[in-house]
Chain A
Amino acid sequence: MFSFCTDPSVLPDWQWFACYLTNATHLQFYRAFGVVLVLLAITAPVALGMGMLGALALRSRFAPLVWFGKGYVNIVRGVPDIVFFLFVPIALGQGIEWVMHQINCPDWDQPIRQGNDFIVCREAKVPPLNSAAWVYQLYAFLMAVVAFALVFGAFAANTLHGAMQAVPRAQIETAEAYGMTRAQAFRRIVLPQMWVYALPGLSNIWQILIKATPLLFLLGIQDIVFWARELGGQKTSLFAYPHPDWRMWYFLGLLCFYLFLTWGSERAFARLNARLSRGQATAAGERMRKAAA
């Protein structure tokens, strides 16, 4: 990184640290923080979308759809979600390969499960055999996104459904009196008003989502936990930057990173809540109205 970094062993302290903290592996470590933020940025809208679909299913007038919604929400909420995080990627991966196998190799005559092996033909491998390492990493990451979206979608479905129910009944009755259809009343009256009721629950889910991101490590993704372990471990003089066991300091860094994230989002949600409460028929909205008057 810096011009004076050619021989770290002779550098004074601060220059040594400057070089150490900007070497190639550390840059990968910093990129891993980006991976966490990308995961959050992708998962949150996807989970919210799935939650919306789940909530609509729970509200629908078509009984099988309601059963499906209830089944989804209750199964995911009732089982420890660490089980889901490890179960979904491997089960989904095997499911995809199985489907690919049925399509690509219809005349394969051996069973797919042989003892403890899961065997599909070459063409059915996902990602394709001999792909580059980054393809495997990306595939694992997408699997993780699906697992996170499934779990947090169920949480969000429950919260959003509750929020839709919480919109005052009189509002919907007024909409009906104006001759709106069910869909119109939902779109024009329920949808804009439900967020203020959903926000406390959603902010809670968001905090849990933040705190769930280190579990990427368990899915074999080179995330911040992986790099903190790699970089912090003791390095002998064979390495360019020998140092004793510094894992504690690296994990302290991660701890601060997460504290900052949760603290920041708590403040952001408080602001959003104030913004959404404006003009609402709730205690907070009433207080704002009185303060303005």
Chain B
Amino acid sequence: MRTCAESFDAYILRALGRDYGENLLPRGLDITTCDQVFLIASGLIWNIYFAGLAIIIGFGLAVGVAVARFGESRILSPLAGGFIFVFRGSPLFIQFFFFYSAFVLLPRSGIDIPLGFVTLTVNTSALTTAQVGGLVVLVLNTTAYSAELFLGALRSIPKGDLEAADAYGMSGFTKFRRVVFPSMLRLAWPSYTNEAIFLTHSTTLVFLSAFPARQQSGEAFYYARYFVDQTFNPFFAYPLVAAYFVVLTLSIIGAFGLVNRHLNRHLPQERRARYRFRPQYLR
């Protein structure tokens, strides 16, 4: 049996791959409580990686999609609407399967995209890994969900704000940057906090669906499931991973709450947008 310190050394970074810990995961009767605690904790690295990058990239894209949908362009607006409809109307689980099976069909050697003066080579084999391909799916998914939130916020920007901007002679990008965007962000932020939470929770689906966990490096829930399969005891690993996610959720609420305070700093206390926890896990 390993001591707790030994299993800390062996498994705390194991999620990064074989080079960062034991070659094999603990098996059968060899599994200790500390193994479960540390290996599942190491899986959180990937949950944070997926959620963090997807939120950052998805945020920028979502603002673009929401503005395109809200605008009056005959081409862009229906296009953005269709994008939102497809990704919000279908289960993320199926999206993972679909994109994975599409990515494996791409030629292994990469695709050359000629841009005139330079040729861009897209590394297609990376797309079949969870770390890149799974992230792409998560980004597309969160873009659609956040775009819908931002769209709602764009629709409910007070008319007076826009009129004031017009009165100052602002137009185009200046108006967007100084008036529309800050108001939109402030109005959408409480629901965007929920979006960030549930995106984090849905990172558990990456390895449960099509994407393979190479070298058995997966996220927290992948390891929890592994332990339950090995020990046939669901009463430790699942509550443990749930507890980790509660901690993750609380830190997201804390961090986003700080941003919310910053966004609302000009408003009197009772007119500030408040955050409400509204669980909607599955997507």
Contacting residues, chain A, for B104 (C-beta < 8 A): 245
Given A116-B31, A211-B283, A215-B282, 17 new contacts (CB under 8 A) = A78-B279, A79-B246, A80-B201, A81-B281, A82-B204, A83-B224, A90-B228, A91-B235, A115-B29, A116-B28, A208-B280, A210-B91, A225-B93, A248-B105, A251-B94, A255-B98, A258-B89
Beta-carbon nearest neighbor of A254 in chain B: B94
Contact string against A for B residues 75-91, beta-carbon threshold 8 Å, 1 for contact and 0 otherwise: 00000000001100111
Q: Which residues of B contact A (CB under 8 A)?
A: 28-29, 31, 85-86, 89-95, 97-98, 101-102, 104-105, 201, 204-205, 208, 221, 224-225, 228, 230-235, 238, 241-242, 245-246, 249, 279-283
Contacting residues, chain A, for B231 (C-beta < 8 A): 116
Q: A228 an interface residue at 8 Å Cβ cutoff?
A: yes
Output the least CB separation between B239 and chain A (Å). Answer: 8
Within the complex, which residue of A204, A218, A247, A258 is in contact with B208, where a contact is CB–CB below 8 Å? A218
Beta-carbon nearest neighbor of B88 in chain A: A262
Given A116-B233, A258-B89, CB of A82 within 8 Å of CB of B221: yes
Question: How far does the alpha carbon of A250 sit from the alpha carbon of B98 in the complex, in Å?
Answer: 8
- Tell me the count of chain A residues lying within 8 A, CB to CB, of chain B: 44
Q: Do B89 and A214 touch across chains, with their CB atoms under 8 A apart?
A: no
Within the complex, which residue of B89, B91, B230 is in contact with A116, where a contact is CB–CB below 8 Å? B230
Q: Do A262 and B90 touch across chains, with their CB atoms under 8 A apart?
A: yes
Contacting residues, chain A, for B201 (C-beta < 8 A): 80, 82
Contacting residues, chain A, for B97 (C-beta < 8 A): 225, 228-229, 247, 251, 254
Contacting residues, chain B, for A4 (C-beta < 8 A): none
Output the least CB separation between B254 and chain A (Å). Answer: 16
Beta-carbon nearest neighbor of A256 in chain B: B90
Q: A87 an interface residue at 8 Å Cβ cutoff?
A: yes
Q: A77 an interface residue at 8 Å Cβ cutoff?
A: yes
Question: How far does the alpha carbon of A79 sit from the alpha carbon of B232 in the complex, in Å?
Answer: 21
Q: A199 an interface residue at 8 Å Cβ cutoff?
A: no
Q: Do A91 and B234 touch across chains, with their CB atoms under 8 A apart?
A: yes
Beta-carbon nearest neighbor of B93 in chain A: A214
Given A86-B238, A228-B97, CB of A113 within 8 Å of CB of B283: no
Within the complex, which residue of A80, A94, A228, A258 is in contact with B204, where a contact is CB–CB below 8 Å? A80
Q: Do B281 and A113 touch across chains, with their CB atoms under 8 A apart?
A: no
Q: Do B90 and A259 touch across chains, with their CB atoms under 8 A apart?
A: yes
Beta-carbon nearest neighbor of B95 in chain A: A255
Q: Do A80 and B281 touch across chains, with their CB atoms under 8 A apart?
A: yes
Given A83-B242, A259-B90, CB of A251 within 8 Å of CB of B280: no
Question: How far does the alpha carbon of A284 sit from the alpha carbon of B93 in the complex, in Å?
Answer: 36
Q: Which residues of A contact B (CB under 8 A)?
A: 77-83, 86-87, 90-91, 94, 113, 115-118, 155, 204, 208, 210-215, 217-218, 225, 228-229, 232, 245, 247-248, 250-252, 254-255, 258-259, 262-263
Contacting residues, chain A, for B89 (C-beta < 8 A): 258-259, 262-263
Q: Do A78 and B95 touch across chains, with their CB atoms under 8 A apart?
A: no
Contacting residues, chain B, for A232 (C-beta < 8 A): 101
Output the least CB separation between A197 and chain B (Å). Answer: 16
Q: Do A252 and B98 touch across chains, with their CB atoms under 8 A apart?
A: yes
Question: How far does the alpha carbon of A51 sit from the alpha carbon of B224 in the complex, in Å?
Answer: 29
Output the least CB separation between A49 and chain B (Å). Answer: 20
Output the least CB separation between A232 and chain B (Å). Answer: 7
Within the complex, which residue of A90, A91, A208 is in contact with B282, where a contact is CB–CB below 8 Å? A208
Beta-carbon nearest neighbor of A225 in chain B: B97
Question: How far does the alpha carbon of A215 sit from the alpha carbon of B228 in the complex, in Å?
Answer: 18
Q: Do B281 and A87 touch across chains, with their CB atoms under 8 A apart?
A: no
Given A81-B281, A91-B234, A116-B230, CB of A245 within 8 Å of CB of B98: no
- 13 contacting pairs across A/B (C-beta < 8 A): A78-B246, A79-B246, A80-B245, A82-B205, A82-B208, A83-B245, A113-B233, A116-B230, A213-B91, A225-B94, A251-B94, A255-B90, A259-B85
Q: Do B98 and A251 touch across chains, with their CB atoms under 8 A apart?
A: yes
Question: How far does the alpha carbon of A10 sit from the alpha carbon of B246 in the complex, in Å?
Answer: 59
Contacting residues, chain A, for B86 (C-beta < 8 A): 255, 259
Q: 6 nearest interchain CB pairs?
A: A247-B101, A251-B98, A211-B91, A262-B89, A80-B201, A248-B101
Contacting residues, chain A, for B205 (C-beta < 8 A): 82
Output the least CB separation between B248 and chain A (Å). Answer: 10
Question: How far does the alpha carbon of A51 sit from the alpha carbon of B134 in the complex, in Å?
Answer: 35
Beta-carbon nearest neighbor of A89 in chain B: B234
Contacting residues, chain A, for B249 (C-beta < 8 A): 78
Contacting residues, chain B, for A213 (C-beta < 8 A): 91
